[in-house]
Amino acid sequence: MQIELTFHYSDYWTNPGTQNKPHAWASLTYAQLKTAVYDFTFNFMIQMQIQGTTPEYVSLGNETRGGILFPDGSTSNFGQLAELFNQGYDAVKAVSPSTKVIIHIDDGGNASTYDWFFGLCNQYGVKYDLIGASYYPFWTGKTVAQINTWANYVSAKFNKDIFIMETGYNWNPTLPNGSNGQLSSNGPYASIYPSSPTGQRDFLYECFSGLKTANNGRVIGDLYWDPIMIEVSGVGWELGGSNVISNTTLFNFSGNALPALKAFQYNN
């Protein structure tokens, strides 16, 4: 198995609108912040290397469409964001030159978003190896065929391979308490593959098989998110937080493997 490591550069889970600095970095100047990004990334990579788990892929931030380390690394300060990304890139490569560095944003399937963001990356000299994208039928409203069309366009325009960093599908319409989870439906597949264990499996069959047909094999993989946050008391987004994704895991509410795992074997 290969390892993909994502640095959130935050004490909390990050997403396009929430990219809070770690508390320990809150009072740093921008110059100090750049040093902190390099040092933290370098030291963590060294630790991974020492224990024999050097990652094949490293993502500099999670869903960074809005930037990282707000406000210094916001996309409104794209020059500074570029420098922060490059500090992370240089630190990764200093430890493991073969590790592929990913810049990951959400909204997979939206060509204009990727034109804008990665166009600015090129303009400001961001160093990276792969384009990372999130693809959920619920959030994007896109089919696998539409994602393939988008991927062919983006990979050709920026001459980069694409790594789908997140894909999710609910296998039960609701959480155990009867409320909607984060993915309250499965978008365009809701009437094709039901919110059931077999529906989740069949979607992944289509998803993985379809992505493999991208031009020149430029979609290199797809990570499922979140596969393991099963329904266990006290397990949620943060200490005391709720678990809103236990109906999109690869294991049922009792922790037993779901048929969707067969999609990974089928597409091995």
Residue holding tokens 């329904």?
231
Model confidence band, residue 238 (pLDDT cutoffs 50, 70, 90)? confident
Q: By percentage, how much of the chain surpasses pLDDT 90?
A: 94
Predicted confidence at residue 234, as pLDDT, reads 86
Nearest alpha-carbon partner for 258 in 178, 203, 218, 184: 203
Predicted confidence at residue 221, as pLDDT, reads 96
The per-residue pLDDT of the chain, averaged, comes to 96
Nearest alpha-carbon partner for 135 in 104, 153, 173, 109: 109
- State both tokens at 83: 């420098």
The phi, psi pair for 223, rounded to 5°, reads -95, 135
Domain boundaries, position 181? 4-266
pLDDT (tens digit, 9 = 90+) per residue, 27-48? Answer: 999 999 999 999 999 999 999 9
pLDDT (tens digit, 9 = 90+) per residue, 80-133? Answer: 999 999 999 999 999 999 999 999 999 999 999 999 999 999 999 999 999 999
Predicted confidence at residue 235, as pLDDT, reads 86
pLDDT (tens digit, 9 = 90+) per residue, 248-267? Answer: 999 999 999 999 999 998 65
Alpha-carbon distance of 37 to 24, in angstroms, equals 12
- State both tokens at 59: 């993502």
Q: By percentage, how much of the chain surpasses pLDDT 70?
A: 99
- State both tokens at 219: 């979609």
Burial (0-12, 13-18, 19+ Cβ within 10 Å), 265: exposed
- Rg (C-alpha) for the chain, rounded Å, is 19
Nearest alpha-carbon partner for 60 in 10, 110, 11, 111: 10
Model confidence band, residue 164 (pLDDT cutoffs 50, 70, 90)? very high
Query: Is the backbone peptide bond immediately before 71 cis, with ω within 30 degrees of 0?
Result: yes
CATH of the domain at 257: 3.20.20.80
Alpha-carbon distance of 141 to 137, in angstroms, equals 5
Alpha-carbon distance of 152 to 137, in angstroms, equals 18
Alpha-carbon distance of 42 to 60, in angstroms, equals 12
Alpha-carbon distance of 231 to 141, in angstroms, equals 27
Number of domains in the chain: 1
Predicted confidence at residue 215, as pLDDT, reads 98
